[in-house]
Amino acid sequence: MEEIRVLPEPDRYAVCAREDESIKEFYKGVFEEVYIFFHPFIKPVSMDVARFYEDQIVNKSQLVQHCEKVSWNQFMHLSGLISYEEIDIGLRTRILGLKKEFQVKKLAKLIDSICEQHHLIPPDEGFLPDLIMNDLLGAIKKESYDWIWVGDEFCTERKLEYIDDLISQDTLGRHNLFTHDQSILITTHWDSHFSMICSNSKEKLKRIIQTCSLEGFYCEEETEIYWSVRNAKRNE
């Protein structure tokens, strides 16, 4: 009879929160504060927008050199959308990341229309956003860290990396980044257009957010991964 192998529970300081419970409840006893930051829309400035639709991937270096970030707030001004919830639901609908009863196809179509009109690229889901990762890693360096652990999605594998190498190279994919003292975690959900910074120091977290000019919000006790859907239902 074949043995059934069951993975142990992952270390919560090293992985993304689960979808079916409060984010802060998942990290309770590990991190005091969690900040959700949005992956920006991408505006090619010195690069043809068509490059993003070719087989060859646009790498981090090319993004940083040739593109600008467009915040969700800026996108609301361009599109007439009135909330982060609308953007999140529209982005999730575009990638079929919601059950049919929660999809809002008119929001998805509007996002596509505005992106086409203004030559923008919608943010990727499930990957740490290359366009702002160098700034974020630099902010962590300012907190007196030279090294950071890089783990895979469930952190079954992890590698200690020199932060300067991560900044200068293009080696990040879908990963969890956490400091050796387990006081900072940067993580992303596989089907979301945002990532999270978790910390057991609100002051440290605040400094990182300000240094990078990140756009987002602090999690409340009831905030979940699908916060936009739950907030929209609550406001109906």
Q: Do the domain assignments include residue 236?
A: no
pTM of the predicted model as reported, rounded to 2 decimal places: 0.94
Same domain, yes or no, for 56 and 146?
no
Dist CA 179 CA 208 (whole Å): 14
What residue numbers bound the domain in which 141 lies? 12-38+127-228
Domain limit, last residue, from 118, 152, 187: 118
pLDDT tens per residue, range 176-212: 999 999 999 999 999 999 999 999 999 999 999 999 9
Q: What is the pLDDT of residues 18-66, one digit of tens each?
A: 998 999 999 999 999 999 999 999 999 999 999 998 877 899 999 999 9
Among 75, 101, 118, the domain boundary falls at 118
- Same domain, yes or no: 136 and 215: yes
Residue found by looking up tokens 């387990």 in the block? 182
Q: Cβ–Cβ contacts within 10 Å for residue 20, how many?
A: 9
The answer to whether residue 103 is domain-embedded is yes
Claim to verify: residue 201 and residue 97 sit in the same structural domain: no
Q: Are residues 25 and 58 in the same domain?
A: no
Within a domain: 49 = yes
Residue 82's pLDDT band, with cuts at 50, 70 and 90, is very high
- Answer whether residue 174 shows pLDDT above 80: no
Whether 91 has a pLDDT exceeding 80, the answer reads: yes
CA distances to 8, 137, 194 from 124, rounded to whole Å, are: 30, 19, 9
Does any domain span residue 235? Answer: no
At 210 the pLDDT is: 96
Residues 133 and 224 grouped into a single domain: yes
Residue 233 lies in a domain: no
User: Within a domain: residue 4?
Assistant: no
Same domain, 151 and 110: no
Amino acid at 178: F
- Which residues touch 95 (CB under 8 Å, ≥6 apart)? 125, 191
Q: Is residue 174 part of a domain?
A: yes
Q: Are residues 175 and 63 in the same domain?
A: no
For residue 100, give the DSSP letter.
Answer: G
Same domain, 158 and 218: yes
**Phi, psi angle pair for 201, to nearest 5°:** -130, 110
The whole-angstrom distance between residue 186's C-alpha and the CA centroid of its chain comes to 9
If asked whether residues 17 and 53 sit together in one domain, one would say no
Residues 33 and 99 in one domain: no
Among 118, 147, 173, residue at a domain's last position: 118
200 shares its domain with 212 = yes
For residues 154 and 135, which has the higher predicted lDDT (pLDDT)?
135
Same domain, 33 and 73: no
Our count of domains for the chain comes to: 2
Mean pLDDT of 88-106: 96
Query: Are 215 and 72 spatial neighbours (Cβ–Cβ below 8 Å)?
Result: yes
